[in-house]
Amino acid sequence: MKANVKNIFVEGAIAPEKIAQSIAAHQAKTGIGGHCLFLGQVRADEVAGKTVTAIDFSAQREMANQVCHQIKEKAFAKYPIHCMHIYHSIGTVKTGELCFFVFVSAAHRTDLAQALDKIVQQIKAEAPIFGKEIFDDQSHQWKENKY
């Protein structure tokens, strides 16, 4: 793996405190005027009378990290972004907990929300991550992303 390819994976749920720390870490970067964050949260979807209680995430981690690195490089080339951070859960995340966190920062707001949306969409489409939805009766189904 290339030295500058970062590990996006976090064991279990992403804590709101981690998000606060990530935000606070940008206070020294006084060229930044705006941040946009996307957070994915596990929904208690109902399927045929059963309710999702958690998602168990697995991945081909090395490729997922590589793919996210490339998505970041392309976004930096396309948008005037100062900072970009991507985190995704691995393992079990309960309903209501956070499993995905994408964070972009720039001097100005223009295009920032659009850039965030594109990056989130690309990660969902291109990163080899797999979600297994666990129901309240311990049965499961494999999550499918709709675009």
Partner 1 sequence: MTQRTLTYYGKLAELTGKSKEEITTEAHTVGALKDRLIDRYPALKKVSFKLAQGQAIADDKDLLTDTNIDVFPPFSGG
Kindly list the residues in this chain that would bind partner 1 in the complex (CB under 8 A).
Answer: 40, 57-60, 62-64, 66-67, 88, 99-100, 109, 120, 123-132, 142-145
Count other C-beta atoms under 10 Å from residue 48's C-beta. Answer: 6
Which residues on neighbouring strands pair with residue 134, listed in sequence order? 54, 140
Q: Of residues 44, 60, 128, 139, which one binds a second copy by CB under 8 A? A: 44
> Interface with a second copy includes 120 (CB under 8 A)?
yes
| 35 near a second copy, rule: CB under 8 A | yes
Helix (H, G, I), strand (E, B) or coil at 109: coil
Distance CA 125, CA 109 (A): 25
- C-alpha–C-alpha distance, residues 98 and 15, integer Å: 7
1, 7, 21, 128: residue in contact with a second copy (rule CB under 8 A): 21
CA atoms of 65 and 59, how far apart (whole Å)? 10
Residue for token digits 């990056």? 119
Dihedral, CA atoms, 106, 109, 115, 120, nearest 10 degrees?
90
One of 1, 6, 7, 41 touching a second copy (CB under 8 A): 41
Among 8, 9, 10, 40, binds a second copy (CB under 8 A): 40
Window 50-89: contact mask with a second copy (x via CB under 8 A): ----------------------------------------
Name the DSSP class of 14: B
| CB closer to partner 1 out of 63 and 83 | 63
Instruction: Using the rule CB under 8 A, give the single segment among 26-34, 67-75, 84-92, 129-137 that binds a second copy.
Output: 26-34
